[in-house]
């Protein structure tokens, strides 16, 4: 071989070895096995067009970086923000086979209940069912999906992170004596005593949290228990998902247990409690910390000392900024993250948490995670400040921090410029649990920071300009929430103007003197624009909420459920309740009906504000919609919904959809 040929051959061989070393997934196929339905499968190559009907598996695919293959999801998959770009094929309980077919999938990931989908696509498309029975099987499923999609390393990382969280909790609860272990049960129903079966992965969550699950001698995902069985178990902790305590817990024969006597009903986000996916470690940590808040608050019982673990730089181009960074720390045994910005010279600041301060050398925003929210309440905000400053090695007299429950991993840095002026807004935001509409919501409690904004410019703001900046920033934040249609958590018929725990910190800065940052000033405009963009990005990163989200997500944000609104027996309708709801959902997949509902949202907001008083025109539009669905005018809707369950405009909209669906069925 010629020297040049040898050189080329060596380069080709080196290149091949490099590819193999950096792409181990290329050796993963075929992947073969038997799925949860008993079907054998062999997957020879990475699936390219996947419709996933199981929300927790969709979330896994996003987490391991396999979402490029994902073309269809159910509307129950709401996070991350990238989910808004995927085609919605219906809900988890009743996906549309027609919409699935339009996507021409080469793989459908289904659950046991998707029998209609299975019948439609069996033999035409590979269908995979991957159930979980416990935490270990949930992790095995993540690893399997990593192999199927050539993302083994990413999948292994997700599993390792979750196992590390579980190991920490196991070590913490191992220190709690057996006689102090709590009996805990997950409640699955609102109007009935429904709980997970003995073989459910949800009882595995309880065991991993160091508590004692029930053994009712019944297997299955959801089983019914009698009040007598309930009382014999006598739970000390009852938990569920959603913001409201289930009505069944107030009934005689149910409420007479230790948990309810001691007000120990705990509520968590549904995508944590109901899913054996990427958040197992997070949920078990949160559950354990709520059940054992007293034990976890004891600093002497910590597994590891409070300490800084790592830090990474943050780019922030301002001449008076010496350095900016995210500091990762362990406080109360849980991972905290802090944005810290050090100045070259002392700065005056104006903080809505601390008021005006001078000679500040460091400002920041500190994230403490959900498991710690209920710990150390006796210490108050001052205790939180003192402990955080001590761990970070920051002097209280020279440091000003905001505090937030929004993860610093989801920090948004927004920049706006005009000629020589530049504004930086560093924003964290979460709106899923305590969004409020000021002037209507009640101020019942206080927690530090949800939407937090740090404002920094390359100008020198006067005290007047700094105070005006607070108004411009607040209006920019409220405009972003309005354009996203964020709803008040406690009054979901109303748009939110913020959350109950928002804070802003303005740095005086250095440069040309600025004495006005209000609405008619260029500085005020830049501040509002920077905050607006930052809030949009931070909400998308933290909550997965974008303008592009589905109409179903917006219905859920309004806490609207046809299951609650419709009676079991529908008057003058040839469909049972479940079938009618599925039919309405399928209609809302079509742009013209989704658009009608979106218009109903806007009209309802106007009616709630007193700007729309005559609903006759909207009712006429509703009749047009009914006729479009039914194929002919079905006449006036017979008011199938419970009175008062919805604002008037939305009641008209849903009655119109139901009227059309029922008339269509009757005509068939």
Average pLDDT in the 2-30 region?
Answer: 45
The CA distance from 455 to 641, in Å, is 48
Contact predicate 458/422, CB 8 Å: yes
Average pLDDT in the 156-164 region?
Answer: 97
Chain position carrying tokens 């209000």: 518
Eight-state DSSP code of residue 266: E
The CA distance from 258 to 365, in Å, is 40
Average pLDDT for the chain: 91
What percent of the chain is predicted at pLDDT more than 90? 81
Over residues 459-497, the pLDDT tens digits come to 999 999 999 999 999 999 999 999 999 999 889 999 999
Average pLDDT in the 359-368 region?
Answer: 97
Average pLDDT in the 35-42 region?
Answer: 94
pLDDT band at 191 (very low <50, low <70, confident <90, very high): confident
Query: CB count, 10 Å around CB of 292?
Result: 25
Contact predicate 446/480, CB 8 Å: no
Average pLDDT in the 361-377 region?
Answer: 91
Over residues 162-186, the pLDDT tens digits come to 999 999 999 999 999 999 999 999 9
Q: Supply 238's token pair.
A: 């009852």
What percent of the chain is predicted at pLDDT more than 70? 94
The CA distance from 110 to 537, in Å, is 32
pLDDT band at 272 (very low <50, low <70, confident <90, very high): confident
Residue closest to 371 by CA, chosen among 432, 282, 492, 449: 282
The CA distance from 255 to 251, in Å, is 6
Global pTM value? 0.91
Which pLDDT belongs to residue 4?
44
Q: Supply 604's token pair.
A: 């309802």
Q: Is the pLDDT reported for residue 642 higher than 50?
A: yes
* More confident call, 254 vs 437: 254
**3 state SS of 631:** coil
Q: Is the pLDDT reported for residue 11 higher than 80?
A: no
Which pLDDT belongs to residue 442?
55
Which pLDDT belongs to residue 139?
97
pLDDT band at 5 (very low <50, low <70, confident <90, very high): very low
* More confident call, 450 vs 26: 450
Which pLDDT belongs to residue 626?
96
Residue closest to 307 by CA, chosen among 284, 286, 338, 282: 338
Which pLDDT belongs to residue 10?
43
Residue closest to 55 by CA, chosen among 70, 38, 39: 70
Over residues 504-532, the pLDDT tens digits come to 999 999 999 999 999 999 999 999 999 99
Residues 6+ apart with CB under 8 A from 523: 421, 423, 457, 459, 461, 465, 469, 514, 516, 517
């Amino acid at each position: 071989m010629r020297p040049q040929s040898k050189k080329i051959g060596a380069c080709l061989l080196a290149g091949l070895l490099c590819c193999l070393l950096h792409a181990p997934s290329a050796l993963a196929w075929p992947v073969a096995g038997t799925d949860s339905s008993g079907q054998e499968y062999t997957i020879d190559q990475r699936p390219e067009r996947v419709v996933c009907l199981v929300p927790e598996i969709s979330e896994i695919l996003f987490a391991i970086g396999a979402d490029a293959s994902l073309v269809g999801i159910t509307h129950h998959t709401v996070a991350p923000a990238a989910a808004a770009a995927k085609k919605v094929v219906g809900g988890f309980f009743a996906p549309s086979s027609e919409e699935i077919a339009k996507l021409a999938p080469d793989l459908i990931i289904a659950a046991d209940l998707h029998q209609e989908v299975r019948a439609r696509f069996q033999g035409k498309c590979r269908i995979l069912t991957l159930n979980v029975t416990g935490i270990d099987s949930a992790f095995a499923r993540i690893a399997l999906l990593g192999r199927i999609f050539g993302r083994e390393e990413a999948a292994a990382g997700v599993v390792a992170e979750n196992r590390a969280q579980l190991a920490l909790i196991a070590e913490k609860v191992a220190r709690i004596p057996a006689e102090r272990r709590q009996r805990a049960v997950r409640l699955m129903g609102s109007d009935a005593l429904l709980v997970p079966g003995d073989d459910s992965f949800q009882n595995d969550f309880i065991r991993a949290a160091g508590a004692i699950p029930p053994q009712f001698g019944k297997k299955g995902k959801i089983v019914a228990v009698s009040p007598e069985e309930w009382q014999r178990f006598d739970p000390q902790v009852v938990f569920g998902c959603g913001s409201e305590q289930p009505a069944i817990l107030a009934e005689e024969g149910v409420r007479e247990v230790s948990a309810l006597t001691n007000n120990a009903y705990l509520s968590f986000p549904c995508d944590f409690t109901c899913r054996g996916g990427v958040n197992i470690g997070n949920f078990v940590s949160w559950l354990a910390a709520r059940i054992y808040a007293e034990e976890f608050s004891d600093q002497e019982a910590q597994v590891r000392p409070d300490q800084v673990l790592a830090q990474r730089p943050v780019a922030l181009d301002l001449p008076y900024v010496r350095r900016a960074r995210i500091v990762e720390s362990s406080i109360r045994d849980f991972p905290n993250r802090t944005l810290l910005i050090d100045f070259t010279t002392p700065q005056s600041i104006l903080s809505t948490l601390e008021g005006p301060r001078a000679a500040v050398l460091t400002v920041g925003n500190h994230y403490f995670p959900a498991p710690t929210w209920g710990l150390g309440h006796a210490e108050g905000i001052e205790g939180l400040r003192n402990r955080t400053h001590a761990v970070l090695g920051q002097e209280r007299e020279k440091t000003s921090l905001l505090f937030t429950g929004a993860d610093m991993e989801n920090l948004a840095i927004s920049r706006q410029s005009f000629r020589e002026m530049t504004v930086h807004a560093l924003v964290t935001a979460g709106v899923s649990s305590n969004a409020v509409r000021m002037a209507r919501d009640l101020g019942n409690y206080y927690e530090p920071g949800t939407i937090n904004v740090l404002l920094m410019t390359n100008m020198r703001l006067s005290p007047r300009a700094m105070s005006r900046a607070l108004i411009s920033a607040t209006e920019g934040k409220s405009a972003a929430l309005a354009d996203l249609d964020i709803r008040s958590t406690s009054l979901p018929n109303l748009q939110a103007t913020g959350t109950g725990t928002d804070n802003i910190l303005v740095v005086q800065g250095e440069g040309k003197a600025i004495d006005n940052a209000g609405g008619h000033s260029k500085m005020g405009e830049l501040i509002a624009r920077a905050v607006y963009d930052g809030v949009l990005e931070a909400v998308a990163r933290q909550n997965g909420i974008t303008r592009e989200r589905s109409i179903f997500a917006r219905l859920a944000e309004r806490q609207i459920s046809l299951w609650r609104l419709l009676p079991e027996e529908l008057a003058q309708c040839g469909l049972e309740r479940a079938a009618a709801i599925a039919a309405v959902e399928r209609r809302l997949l079509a742009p013209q009906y989704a658009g009608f509902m979106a218009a109903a949202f806007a009209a309802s907001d106007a009616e709630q504000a007193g700007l729309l008083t005559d609903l006759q025109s909207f009712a006429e539009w509703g009749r047009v919609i009914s006729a479009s669905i039914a194929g002919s005018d079905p006449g006036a809707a017979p008011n199938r919904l419970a009175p008062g369950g919805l604002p008037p405009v939305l009641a008209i909209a849903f009655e119109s959809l139901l009227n059309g669906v029922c008339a269509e069925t009757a005509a068939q």
